[in-house]
Amino acid sequence: MRRQIDFDSLEPPASNLNQFEALAAQERDKAVAEAISSLDMNHRSILVLRFYGEHTFEEIAELLQIPVGTAKSRLFYAVKRCRQELKRKGIIE
Mean pLDDT over residues 21-31, rounded?
88
Mean pLDDT over residues 26-47, rounded?
94
Of the CATH numbers 1.10.10.10, 1.20.1070.10, 3.40.50.300, 1.10.3720.10, which one belongs to the domain with range 40-93? 1.10.10.10
User: Does 5 have pLDDT greater than 70?
Assistant: no
What are the residue ranges spanned by the domains of the chain? Answer: 40-93
What whole-number distance in Å separates Cα of residue 55 and Cα of residue 68? 12
CB-CB contact of 79 with 48 (8 Å): no
Please name the residues in contact with 16: beta carbons below 8 A apart, sequence gap of 6 or more. Answer: none
- pTM for the predicted model, two decimal places: 0.74
**Which helix (H) or strand (E) is 34 found in, with range?**
helix 17-37
What whole-number distance in Å separates Cα of residue 4 and Cα of residue 73? 71
What whole-number distance in Å separates Cα of residue 24 and Cα of residue 47? 23
Nearest partner of 46 among 85, 79, 74, judged by Cα: 74
* % of residues, the chain, pLDDT over 90: 65
Q: For the segment 72-92, what is each residue's pLDDT rounded down to a tens digit?
A: 999 999 999 999 999 999 989
Q: For the segment 49-78, what is each residue's pLDDT rounded down to a tens digit?
A: 999 999 999 999 999 999 999 999 999 999
- At 85, which amino acid appears? E
